[in-house]
Amino acid sequence: MATEIERKYLVHPKAWQQAKANAEYSHLSQGYLSLEAERTVRIRIKKELALLTIKGKSKGISRLEFEYQIPLNDGLALLKICQGSIIEKKRYIIHYDQLTWEVDEFEGDNAGLIVAEVELESENQTFTLPPWIKEEVSDDQRYYNSNLVQHPFKDWE
């Protein structure tokens, strides 16, 4: 059984522009086959890789997560039958203070949104925030990717 323990943060756009100057990114497309409260089922395409991910309901900042590589053609076909819109984003991988941060710059209907995530070993793990972090939004469901497909950032007031 796999447990994901993750914190999510908004990013200072100007400070982030400097931090990402030399960072590489990958383009991701992802959609959701299931958006039920008890579980989400996601398909993600990254270059020539397709991943099927099942996540359980969050309990604090933890939840069950299972991820499997599937054939690319299957992933592309599944992306066509997803619920809501497809999320398009650039994902940067940044190493800071012995942790790996994933910073997503959203495109399309979610353009303008920049979210950083860090996976932890425990819910109580202490760590230093990078200087480009603005505020924590781990408990704000609006920032869940599964919510952004139904309520995109462009529609927020």
Residue 31, classified by CB atoms within 10 Å of its CB into exposed (0-12), middle (13-18) or buried (19+), is: buried
Contact 116, 107 (CB under 8 A): no
For the chain, give the number of residues: 157
Distances (CA, A) of 107 to 36, 39, 53, 126, 149: 24, 25, 21, 31, 12
Active-site residue (options: 32, 92, 96, 143): 32
Identity (one letter) of the amino acid at 83?
Q
* Whether residue 68 lies in the annotated active site: no
For the annotated catalytic residues, the residue numbers are 32
